[in-house]
Amino acid sequence: MGSYVRAEHYDLLALGSGEAAKFIACTIAATQGKRCAVIERQWYGGSCPNVACLQSKNVIHSASVPAVFTWRGLWHTSSQWEWRKRRQNEHEGGFKQSGVAFIRGEGKFVDRKTIEVTNADGQKRVLEGDIIIVCTGSRAIISDIPGLKEAKPLTHVELLELEELPSHLIVLGRGYVGLEFAQAMRRFGSAVTVIDKHERTLMHEDEDVATQVQEVLLREGVLFSTSTSVTEVSGTSGESVTVGGTASGETFQVKGSHLLCATGRIPNSDNNGLEATGVTLTEKGHIAADEWNRTSEDGVFAVGDCFGSPYFTHIGYNDFRIVNDCLNGKATSEARRSARQVPFTLSTDPEIAHVGLREHEAKTKGIKYRLAKIPMSAFLRSRTLGETDGFAKALVSAEDDTILGFTAVGPGIGELLPLVQLTMKKKLPYFEIADMIFTHPTLGEGLMFVFGAVPPRS
């Protein structure tokens, strides 16, 4: 550290201002009157509002509204910069109001309770905290395929900053980021080729779910190259870029104008001095912590993507609740990591919405279930929308009447998850949903039909 600098003391210090950290710091400041600070090198409030969930869903929605089917047509704000400025102002206001110190700069651990922060001008501050929250997020993987880094590929961050529409976007990776952006950019008018090393889309999902979404994208003109091993990339994204390798054993080459890397994410647990603390990492580089986000160092918590919580903002928010309970002496067995539901919505059109057990998981684990599966056209609302692609399926226990899992592919179908989640959480029988009165014709009404189709117990 060079010359001695007196450390500024805080009761609670967060590294990274993402979902869980901002709520923890603001809540502890407000409810316990503690002195809290958040260190952040880039955006107030982390990725979700600025470069991930919210902005990407705004782009995706824009691409889905035929009347304004143009690149940047329906962006509710004039530009991506305007979007971020608004989110920044909202978050800056939130921190100020709650009395949390927002400290701009790159943070690096000096020891378990001390973080050195370097701002853009190279000036340093040393902060120490009794409680430390590590919330440093994750970043897109840019693998070491020859020529890939040199091609300066886009990640979701740069894609959201593009001023021009790519004439031909090559998407490497067919997971959440790849599929959502592939469809949106195709709808805006780009030619889109998606390349993935696996044979099928969304390997974790049931095959019928993955196939349904892929079929829609194919119909809209997205091209797929599957079981593809990319061995070289040449050119530069934004000008002309060529991706080559083998696809199902055959030589493969595709030339495009832009390249998006969407091959997964790695935790930001390196380059921040964590090795100077006693905090340990998992094999995948996540910060190792227990059921209540407590690391191996007393008073140091890890939250969000860097902790390996499933990479969703709402799960980051749940980390906040768990840590907040912990800090209030309420670390209960109900409020722990492995006890929580992990619902998600993939924002393709149609969406995929899921909670609980998948069918292939039930089969692998030998869990006996009853299956109800109906086409989306049976959700009468989908007919009024003219959007009948998809289906919904529910897995109900063969032994009692509790719901084990629910998955649906359909328009705006993610909005239906909470009712199913609540029924599952309260361990209510599935027919509580089947017996409800739903307004007609809403998507919710479809739940009555799915759960009404559960076969009787044998």
Ligand X SMILES: NC(=O)c1ccc[n+]([C@@H]2O[C@H](COP(=O)([O-])OP(=O)(O)OC[C@H]3O[C@@H](n4cnc5c(N)ncnc54)[C@H](O)[C@@H]3O)[C@@H](O)[C@H]2O)c1
The CB-of-55 to ligand FAD minimum distance in angstroms stands at 8
Q: Rounded CA gap, 151 and 201, in Å?
A: 25
197 binds, among ligand X, ligand FAD, none (CB under 5 to 8 A by kind): ligand X
262 binds, among ligand X, ligand FAD, none (CB under 5 to 8 A by kind): ligand X
- Site for ligand X contains 346 (CB under 6 A): yes
List the structure tokens of 76.
């509710």
> Applying CB under 6 A, which part among 10-18, 196-204, 286-294, 425-433 lies near ligand X?
196-204
Beta bridge partners of 228: 247
Residue labelled with tokens 């959007």: 387
Return the number of the residue (180 or 349) whose C-beta is nearest ligand X. 180
361 binds, among ligand FAD, ligand X, none (CB under 5 to 8 A by kind): none
Which H/E stretch holds residue 298?
Answer: none
Return the number of the residue (142 or 371) whose C-beta is nearest ligand X. 142
- Site for ligand X contains 317 (CB under 6 A): no
277 binds, among ligand FAD, ligand X, none (CB under 5 to 8 A by kind): none
Of 99, 189, 264, 412, the one binding ligand X (CB under 6 A) is 264
Looking only at the bridges linking them, the beta strands covering 124-134 and 300-302 are parallel
> Applying CB under 6 A, which part among 129-137, 193-201, 293-301, 425-433 lies near ligand X?
193-201
Return the number of the residue (353 or 396) whose C-beta is nearest ligand X. 353
Q: Rounded CA gap, 79 and 186, in Å?
A: 20
16 binds, among ligand FAD, ligand X, none (CB under 5 to 8 A by kind): ligand FAD
Residues recorded for the chain:
458
- Site for ligand X contains 347 (CB under 6 A): yes
For residue 389, which of 193, 213, 181 has the smallest C-alpha distance?
213
To the nearest 10 degrees (0 to 180), the angle between helices 80-98 and 19-32 is 30
x-marked contacts with ligand X along 209-238 as a string, rule CB under 6 A: ---------------------x--------
Q: Rounded CA gap, 60 and 74, in Å?
A: 10
Buried b (16+ CB within 10 A) or exposed e, 242-280: bbbbebeeeebebebbbbbbbbebbbbbeebbbeebebe
Of 131, 195, 408, 443, the one binding ligand X (CB under 6 A) is 195
Q: Rounded CA gap, 156 and 80, in Å?
A: 13
**Cα 13 from chain centre:** 25
* Terminal Cα distance for the chain, rounded: 71
List the structure tokens of 4.
């001695």
Return the number of the residue (151 or 374) whose C-beta is nearest ligand X. 151
- Site for ligand X contains 312 (CB under 6 A): yes
CA dihedral (330, 49, 175, 195) in degrees, to 10, reads -160
173 binds, among ligand FAD, ligand X, none (CB under 5 to 8 A by kind): ligand X
Beta bridge partners of 344: 354
- Site for ligand X contains 197 (CB under 6 A): yes
Return the number of the residue (344 or 391) whose C-beta is nearest ligand X. 344
Return the number of the residue (129 or 245) whose C-beta is nearest ligand X. 245
444 binds, among ligand FAD, ligand X, none (CB under 5 to 8 A by kind): none
- Site for ligand X contains 354 (CB under 6 A): no
Q: Rounded CA gap, 419 and 416, in Å?
A: 6
Touching ligand X, residues 129-148 (CB under 6 A): 143
Q: Rounded CA gap, 314 and 296, in Å?
A: 25
Which H/E stretch holds residue 235?
Answer: strand 228-236
For residue 188, which of 53, 51, 73 has the smallest C-alpha distance?
73
> Applying CB under 6 A, which part among 41-49, 76-84, 345-353, 389-397 lies near ligand X?
345-353
230 binds, among ligand X, ligand FAD, none (CB under 5 to 8 A by kind): ligand X
314 binds, among ligand FAD, ligand X, none (CB under 5 to 8 A by kind): ligand FAD
- Site for ligand X contains 160 (CB under 6 A): no
Residue labelled with tokens 């469809």: 183
Q: What are the residues binding ligand FAD (CB under 6 A)?
A: 15-20, 39-43, 46-48, 52-53, 56-57, 106-107, 135-137, 156, 177, 268, 272, 304-306, 311-314, 316, 347
Return the number of the residue (287 or 346) whose C-beta is nearest ligand X. 346
What would you measure as the largest C-alpha separation in the chain, in angstroms? 77
Phi, psi of 51 (to 5 degrees): -135, 5
Footprint of ligand X (CB under 6 A) = 143, 172-178, 180, 195-198, 230, 262-265, 310-312, 344-347
